């Protein structure tokens, strides 16, 4: 039961990333690479969200025949937001049994939906922290 509650809290926390998206936000900081453009961060986030969508079976939100973000007109940020919304709708509709159920992702071992949620949140944590640092110090000179 505690694992289920933790997973539900983590799903709610995944919505925070969407709340961090601001029009005109031009940069973020990555602790391992120094200053990087926001588009690079959101491209990585969108690509990760595509993998999560495939694992969750929500890849219907991914356009058929599109293999990379460069092949369509959506920005990486728009792609991330769209896929995150689809994935959250799927996760928020899961029963306890579904959250405990397995997911398969190409190139990775089988895991549970709840474990995938934890992986998603861990990935978001770095981006959220970087965005918060930039917001709290807008004069950092990051471009």
Coil, strand or helix at 26: coil
Give the pair of three-digit tokens for residue 29: 């900081």
User: What domains, with CATH codes, occur in the chain?
Assistant: 2-7+37-140 (1.20.120)
> Which tops the pLDDT comparison, 106 or 103?
103
Global confidence as pTM: 0.73
What is residue 6's DSSP assignment? Answer: H
Q: What is the C-alpha to C-alpha distance for residues 100 and 107, in angstroms, rounded to an integer?
A: 21
Which helix (DSSP H) or strand (DSSP E) does residue 30 occupy? Answer: strand 27-30
Q: What is the pLDDT of residues 66-95, one digit of tens each?
A: 454 445 578 888 898 899 999 999 999 999
Residue 35 has a pLDDT of 47
Please spell the DSSP secondary structure of 40-91, one letter per residue.
HHHHHHHHHHHHHHHHHT-GGGSPTT--SGGGSSS-HHHHHHHHHHHHHHHH
| Cα gap 121→24, rounded to integer Å | 24
pLDDT for res 133:
67
Q: What is the mean pLDDT of the chain?
A: 75
Can you tell me the mean pLDDT for 127-133?
Answer: 67
Decide: helix, strand or coil at residue 94.
Answer: coil
Residue 142 or residue 54, greater confidence = 54
Distance, CA of 113 to CA of 55 (rounded, Å): 9
Taking alpha carbons only, the member of 57, 59, 60 closest to residue 103 is: 57
pLDDT at 38: 60
């Amino acid at each position: 039961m505690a694992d289920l509650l933790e997973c539900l809290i983590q799903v709610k926390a995944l919505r925070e990333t969407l709340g961090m998206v601001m029009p005109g936000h031009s940069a973020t900081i990555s602790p391992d690479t120094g200053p990087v453009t926001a588009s690079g961060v959101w491209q990585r986030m969108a690509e990760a969200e595509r993998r999560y969508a495939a694992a969750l079976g929500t890849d219907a939100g991914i356009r058929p025949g599109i293999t990379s973000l460069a092949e369509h007109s959506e920005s990486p940020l728009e792609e991330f937001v769209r896929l995150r919304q689809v994935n959250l709708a799927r996760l928020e509709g899961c029963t306890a049994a579904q959250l405990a159920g397995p997911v398969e992702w190409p190139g990775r071992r089988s895991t549970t939906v709840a474990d995938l949620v934890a992986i998603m949140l861990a990935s978001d944590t770095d981006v959220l922290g970087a965005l918060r640092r930039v917001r709290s110090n807008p004069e950092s000179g990051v471009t």
